[in-house]
Amino acid sequence: MTPLAGCLLVSSLLFSVGLAGALTRRNAILVLAGIELMLNAANLNFIAFWRFGPHPEFLTGFMFVIFSIAVAAAEAAVGLALILAIYRHARTSDVSEITEMKG
């Protein structure tokens, strides 16, 4: 197995773990954590492709990761603020109990 394939496999495994967490856990914070894990798996892919790709000198994948980290920071901040607001509203952070907008 080449290093690139190894990286991609690790990344896909991490993605699946994040996905499983986001789907199964009921606490909103952990759902967010699962999403962060998936985002990180994607970042690992970018780094791997940058590192083993044909043109590392253009820094494309690298820059994508930098920007992605910045976006993730913003996402986490807003997401957790949302969870806090919802918690204050509904007194729970369990996503399966927040059913007020259900049709």
Partner 1 sequence: MGMTVSFLILAILTLAGGVAAMTLRRLVHCALALAVSFAGLAALYVNLGAEFAGLAQLLVYVGAIAILIVFAILLTHSSETELQKVFSPAGIAGALLALAVFAVLAWAVVSSGAAHSAASVAAPQTSMREIGFALMQRYVLPLEVIALMLTAAMIGAVILAVRPTSGSEPAETQAPRNPELRA
Residues 40-59 that bind partner 1 (CB under 8 A): 40, 43-44, 47-48, 50-54, 56-57, 59
Long-range CB contacts (< 8 A, 24+ apart) of 50-59? 51/4, 51/7, 52/2, 52/3, 52/4, 52/7
Site for partner 1, residues 63 to 82, rule: CB under 8 A? 63, 65-67, 69-78, 80-82
The answer to whether residue 19 forms part of the interface with partner 1 (CB under 8 A) is yes
Q: Does 35 sit near partner 1 (CB under 8 A)?
A: no
Cβ–Cβ under 8 Å, residues 11 and 45: yes
Question: Per rule CB under 8 A, is residue 1 in the interface with partner 1?
Answer: yes
Does 98 interact with partner 1 (rule: CB under 8 A)? no
Q: Which residues contact 63 (CB under 8 A, 6 or more apart)?
A: none
Is residue 97 involved in binding partner 1 (CB under 8 A)? no
